Structures are given as structure tokens and as C-alpha cells.
Amino acid sequence: MADSGQAAITGMAATTAFGRGLTPVLDGVLAGTPAFGGVTRFAPRRCRANAAAELPGTPVLAEELAAVIEAAWAAAGLADGQRAGCPLLLALHCDPAAARDPDARQVTGDTAAAVAGRCGLGATPRIYMAACVAASTAVIDAAAMFAAGQASRVVVAAGYLVDADSFAMFDAGRSLAPDGQVRPFSAGRRGMLLGDGVAAVVLEAAATAAHRDAPVLARLAGWGRSGDAYHVCQPRPDGSGLARAVGMALARAGADPAEIGYVNANGTGTPFSDASEAAALHTALGARAALTPVSSTKSVHGHALEASGLVELIVTVLALRSGQLPVNAGFLGPDDECRLDLVLTPGRERQGRYALSLNAAFGGANTALLVEAA
Amino acid sequence: MSSSTVPAIGDLATELASPGPVVLAQAEWPTAPGDTLPGVPGFVTSTFSPLVVEVAQRCLHAFFGPAPADPARGERTGVVLASSTGDLATAAAVAQAVGQERRVPPMLFYQSTPNAVVGYLTARWALSGPVVCTVPLGDATADARACADLLIRSGDADAVLVVVADQARAPHQSDHAAALLIGPGSWTERDALT
């Protein structure tokens, strides 16, 4: 079914270190209470950092993914009989077991196939592994599939559970905050921290959602994606790549920067990346950049790597619907390179009909999702 | 790419009626027994990134000539990298270090995701379109081309470098990669740049 490309979000579910379900993560981001603690799932050896945002126990990714897909499907008010043929786009981190399995090809694929089979969705799911823009890229592709007439309903799911290999690798890259706090855009910020994130969203072509009178939670009004063409792992210092993605998202929706009431920033809390993102916002939003509320909720739920884009999209939708803005936690003081209107205290009310969710990744990949309140 | 080149969301259906992309160039690795992989500065331990770089550069060179691509086209060219295996050797090296309670070599951090090598390529060739990396479960080339098709049809790119790369998983196997540059047929016209 061909459509204009506008996508309706009709169901969503998330699991984070705050717990399973949407209410715990919404409460956490609105309160600005970080979920970080000492790592319990494994013992970080020879690492500078020792904190992450983890679910208790030993969650299994395939089971957590199936659970959020089921919950999102139910929230969308869809019947089991409508599952067959619905594409499943998955954003996954490389399974640590793959590095220890001689038949490695099967590990990640088996997880994806098991999730798809268990949920009765898409016979051959597509797996996005584009680092921190994997999930947002999957969301964009879903909307593009609607526009191309390739689908009218898509489930996007994503999952990352904090693991020893990633922890050790990011620690080796001196990216993890040794002080146990993520402080996006703040003076004295020292890095990111990993966090569990498993999420699912049901996206429907606008006409499809309207036809069945679906409960529309929000609309994906526009998107942008771009490359920096700059560096293996650092963003372009002037933020011009991310700024182009924001500009594309606004242009698609015909939206004005003044209509943006909230930016859920990529905000990893690393010195270089946050300064680049602040520059991008000033380029893309012009004079409105200093007046647009910004927060990075990685400061409370951590960085969910490939799943971060979906967790943060859901947080953005929840914020739009609640009318209150998530807090940028960990702030110590202003940084001249990050002159933004940060949301520093709970209870700030949302103005404007749109919100932006931004993500950026290694390789200079950038995405911008423009979400419109339903 | 300026935001003005992006179709308004309501105009996408019209955009989709335009002629489809064509194959502008293609390359493979290896092309003969004994074909070698030049090293890539900053990438160690694994053949994955050198494999991607070599096949991609062969393809890009066949169309653009020496790096970088001309700016007008480079800024409208994206990259899709599909790999069923991903960088197994890097992942195994990290796992081994963790298992032996050694520090992970910092160099491995910089090649920890498939995106990283794409960053090397796009910087060298000045390709500033979107970057997509996937793990295809079925026909890898078909899936990667479908991703590229979405990039082009949605107006996010005019052309896409598609790279499908897989490392050997057994001693008797060889690494293998293929690359396609797909884009508008008008790019093959001699005076298209003027």
C-alpha cells in the first residue's frame, strides 16, 4: 500500500535499568534520577570505570526482545492474526557469543530468527548493526518502506544488554566515565556509561493507522540521515553532518525550528562529541538553538548502543505525551562549547508540537527523527 | 547535501515515480588467486576493514577515478555495508582479552563496529550521504541493495556504495567481498557534471 511516508507510532514498549514497561523509564527520565550503579553482571577487570545501568539478574536478550514486541503489539490494539507478513526490523549489538562460537554466523541470526518466529513476525528479519544509529536507521527505513509501498505496518525492535566485551572495549577507548556519572553538555564531563535497553515500536503508514482507527501515540513527521565524511570514530567538530540531518528532518515535515519544543540529544557525555552536537544544533536551529529545551536521557538510562535510538525515540514520545521534559542529569556547570537550553530540573513543561531525537555513531553516521505530538 | 534536496514528506510518492538507479561500477575481492589486501592505517589484527576498504576503493576508483569523489556527487552518495559475519577477528580478540583478564588493546576500540571502516572510506572519498550497516540473513546482496534502494527512493541519497563483505570462517575458506556503486543513469553521461 503506497503512502505519503508519514508514519504513525501506534504501539511501543521498553525495558531499561529502570524496569520493564514505559512507566518506570518515564518516571526515571522526568525525575532525572540516574540508574547507574556498580556493575553486577560481570566483574570488570583492569578497567578504569566500574558503573553501568543494568537490569537486575541475568536477562536473556531474545526473551526480553520477544516481551517488548508482544507488549508493543498489544498496545497497538492489533490482533494475532495480523502478524503474518509484518516485517520485523531489528537493531542489535553483536552477540558476545559470536566471538566465542566457531559457527559465528548463526549466533546473531539465530537470535533474530528466534525472536521473529516466537512473535510470528517477518519470516526473514533484517538486522541493523550500524552502531549507535542502528535503531533510528531502522525506524527511518520503516517510514521509507511505507513511502515505497513495500509495507504498511512494520515492527522495529532493538536490544542491548550490558556485556563484558563492550565494557572492556569502551573502557580501553577511555570513553567510559570513571566517576560513575554521565554529564552531557556539562563542564567536567568525562564520558559515557553503558545501559541496558530493549525496546519495540509498531509503526504504521498514516493511512493504515487512520483506516483502522488505531491509537496513534505520535507521528514521525520527518527524518534526516547524513554522513560526516570526516573520521573513523570522531564527529565533525563543527557538527555540520548532524546539522544536515536535522535540516533534512525539518524540511521533510515543513517544520520551523520555532515549532520544536524539545530535543532529545545524542549527548553521550564525552567532551568532543557533545561540543560537536551543540554546534550542530546552533547551525540547524539558528537563533532558536539557545531557546530550545535540550536533554540527553543517556544521563539516566545510559547508552544502549544499537538500541539507543529506539529507547530514546520512545522517551521522546513519552515526553511529548506527558507534557513534561526529561532532565539532563549530572550537570556540574556550563561549558562554553555547549551553550544550550538544558533541562536541568524536573517539572519543565513542553511547548511546541514537535520534538527531535538525535543520534550519531562511529563512522560519522547521523540521524534525526522529528516526532509530532498526536 | 542541502536540506532543500530532500522531498517534502507529502511529495515522496511523486519522487518514487522517477527512474530507478543503475549499476555505475562494481568490484570484487579477490579477483585472482594470490590477490592481496593492503593494510589500512589504524586498523589492526583483523582483515575485515582492509577487505572492505580494498573492494570499496576498487569500485569507487572505477567510477570516480582517484579519491576524492567530486564534491557534488560525493555529498549525495551514501554507503551500505552488509556483512553476515561482521568483524569476527576483532570480536574474537576482544573476547580473548576479556577471557584472560587482560586489557583490551585500545586500537581495537576504533574498529569495534562496522561503521568505523566506513568512516575511513567516506572521509577519504568525501562521501557524505547516509551510512547503513546490516547483518543480512538471507541473500546478502539483495538485502543490501534493498537498503540502498530505500536510501535513493526516499531522497536521502542519489547514489549508494553497496559493500557485501564476509570473513572466512574456516581455514580452507577465503575472505570475500563485492561492491556495487548504484545511482542515477544520468551520472554516466559525459557532461553530467557541467
Best B2, B5, B11, B12 member to test A by mutation, with max A CBs in 10 Å, is B12
- Please tell me the distance from the alpha carbon of residue A341 to that of residue A333, in angstroms, as a whole number: 13
pLDDT band at B15 (very low <50, low <70, confident <90, very high): very low
Contacts of B104 in chain A (CB under 8 A): 168-169, 171-172
Q: What confidence score (pLDDT) does residue A337 get?
A: 97
Query: Inter-chain contact A128–B138, Cβ cutoff 8 Å?
Result: no
Of A258, A259, A276, which is closest to residue A267 (Cα–Cα)?
A276
Enter the C-alpha cell of residue A140.
527511518
pLDDT computed for residue A106 by the predictor: 55
- Nearest residue in chain A measured CA to CA from B101: A45
Across A357-361, B134-138, B170-174, the highest mean pLDDT is recorded for: A357-361
Average pLDDT over all residues of chain A: 94
SS3 assignment, position A11: strand
Residue A345 distance to chain B (closest CA, Å) = 34
Please give the average per-residue pLDDT across A283-309, as a whole number. Answer: 98
Sort strands B159-166 and B77-82 into parallel, antiparallel or unpaired: parallel
Q: What confidence score (pLDDT) does residue A96 get?
A: 81
A110-119, long-range: CB within 8 Å, 24+ apart, which pairs? Answer: A111/A61, A111/A62, A111/A65, A112/B135, A112/B137, A113/B137, A114/A62, A115/A62, A115/A65, A115/A66, A115/A69, A115/A88, A115/A90, A115/A157, A116/A88, A118/A62, A118/A66, A119/A66, A119/A69, A119/A70, A119/A73, A119/A83, A119/A88, A119/A155
- Report the pLDDT averaged over residues A256-267: 98
User: Which of A166, A232, A303, A367 to mutate against chain B (most B CBs within 10 Å)?
Assistant: A232
Confidence bin at B11 (pLDDT 50/70/90): low
Which of A70-79, A119-128, B78-87, B166-175 holds the top average pLDDT? A70-79
pLDDT of residue B19: 65
CB distance A172–B103 less than 8 Å? Answer: yes
List helix spans (H) across chain A.
Answer: 22-31, 61-75, 105-119, 134-147, 164-172, 206-211, 240-253, 271-285, 298-301, 308-322
Predicted local confidence at residue B20, as pLDDT:
78
Rounded to 5 degrees, what are φ and ψ at A71? Answer: -65, -40
Give the contacts of B167 (CB within 8 A, at least 6 positions apart). B46, B47, B48, B51, B85, B87, B88, B89, B175
Q: Which of A128, A251, A364 sits opposite B119 (nearest CB)?
A: A364
In one-letter notation, the amino acid at residue A295 is S
Please tell me whether the overall predicted TM-score, pTM, comes out greater than 0.80 for this model. Answer: yes
Q: Complex ipTM, two decimals?
A: 0.95
Q: Is the peptide bond before B68 cis (omega within 30 degrees of 0)?
A: yes
Query: Which residues of chain B are within 8 Å of residue A168 when distances are taken between CB atoms?
Result: 94, 97-98, 103-104
Interface-testing mutation among A194, A362, A370, with chain B (most B C-beta atoms within 10 A):
A362
**A222 contacts on B by Cβ (under 8 Å):** 9
Which residue of chain A is at minimal alpha-carbon distance from B166? A105
pLDDT at A296: 98
- The stretch A120-133 carries a mean pLDDT of 87
> Across residues B69-87, what is the average pLDDT?
94
* SS3 label, residue A41: coil
CA distance A128 to A124: 13
- Mean pLDDT (chain B) is 88
Scan for cell 550537570, then name that residue: A331
CA separation for the pair B175, A290 (Å, rounded): 50
- Give chain B's radius of gyration (CA, Å): 18
Question: Between these two residues, A282 and B172, which has the higher pLDDT value?
Answer: A282
A81 grid coordinates = 492474526
3-state class of A159 per DSSP? Answer: strand
What is the interface size between A and B, counted as CB pairs within 8 Å? 242
A291 within 8 A of A343, measured Cβ to Cβ = no
Q: Angle at the Cα of A133 (from A251 to A291), degrees rounded to 5?
A: 50
- pLDDT tens digit sequence for B116-159: 999 999 999 999 999 999 999 888 999 999 999 999 999 999 99
